[in-house]
Amino acid sequence: MIAMAVAVFFVAGAALAWLVLFPAARDEVLAGVDRLWARLGGVAGRWQSRAGERVAASGRRLHGGGSRLSRAVARHRVPLVVGLLLLAIPPLLVLQLRRQVLLDGFDATTTTRADSHVLALLRGERLAPPADLPPAVFATAEAVRVMPGIATANRKWHRLDPDFQQRLLVVYRVMRDQHGYEMALVEGYRSPERQARLAAQGGSVTRAGAGRSWHQYGLAADSAPVRNGQLQWDMEDPWTRRGYQLYGEVARSVGLVWGGGWTSIQDYGHVELRRPGVRPPA
């Protein structure tokens, strides 16, 4: 939107400068306007002819005013050029700075390589789910504290929507190959009954009731990075924080919504594929 506004601004400014600074061009444009009005006046008849003559007279007066304007511009051309530069430079600086905004801890070259890898994977092979982790990984005190009911959560990849499953597997592959993070599926499909139980525990767990979560349709999943055989949740840890940030960026690059970008409740391990018409509106 900003780029379009700047483009319109420059086109209008260039056209105005062309008419003001080049008298021959301005005269040709005004003459064309006069000829157009004259033709309209001849077709419209006697009454409209009088109106056309008045318009033509106005055009001639405008032509005279344009000549005076041209002389005034010639006398003050230096201030005008300076003014145009002052108007043009700030929008250009804004556009340039917007292109250079990066999140903390991100490398633009790394992101570019990841994007090309993502496209290649989405167009190419069909990925297979990774091997299941031992149940003990999901039974630690920290895991239970962070995610209530994690021990009984469904982690069956075949319960996920096929399209969503492949997108998530692409995210896992990029996280491993490009960034060195192994990701684990913590929860995929979630039954309406389980969703209702989690919702009853309060907004800090989930704000979606039964039938209102993408988990019920196999279009959402919760994941976590794995280090030394343990799920990592601590966002105060630089390695973990960077892992979740990269996870969100890669997920977005394949068309998924990342819960870490929400403002109401930030769910860094959550991603979902929103498909219109799949579920009733919340």
CB 133, CB 184: distance < 8 Å: yes
CB atoms within 10 A of CB 91: 16
3-state secondary structure (DSSP) of residue 51: helix
Sequence-distant (≥ 6) Cβ neighbours of residue 104 within 8 angstroms: none
Q: pLDDT digits over 226-280, tens only?
A: 999 999 999 999 999 999 999 999 999 999 999 999 887 889 999 999 988 776 4
Q: What is the CATH number of domain 108-272?
A: 3.30.1380.10
Task: Give dist(CA 85, CA 49) in Å, integer.
Answer: 45
**Which stretch of DSSP H or E encloses residue 24?**
helix 23-44
Q: pLDDT digits over 170-226, tens only?
A: 999 999 999 999 999 999 998 888 888 877 776 666 656 565 688 889 999 999 999
Q: How confident is the model at residue 154 (pLDDT cuts 50, 70, 90)?
A: very high
Q: pLDDT digits over 111-150, tens only?
A: 444 455 566 666 667 899 999 999 999 999 999 998 888 9
Task: Give dist(CA 172, CA 163) in Å, integer.
Answer: 14
Domain boundaries of the chain, sorted by first residue: 2-99, 108-272
- Which has the closest alpha carbon to 163: 247, 248, 273? 273
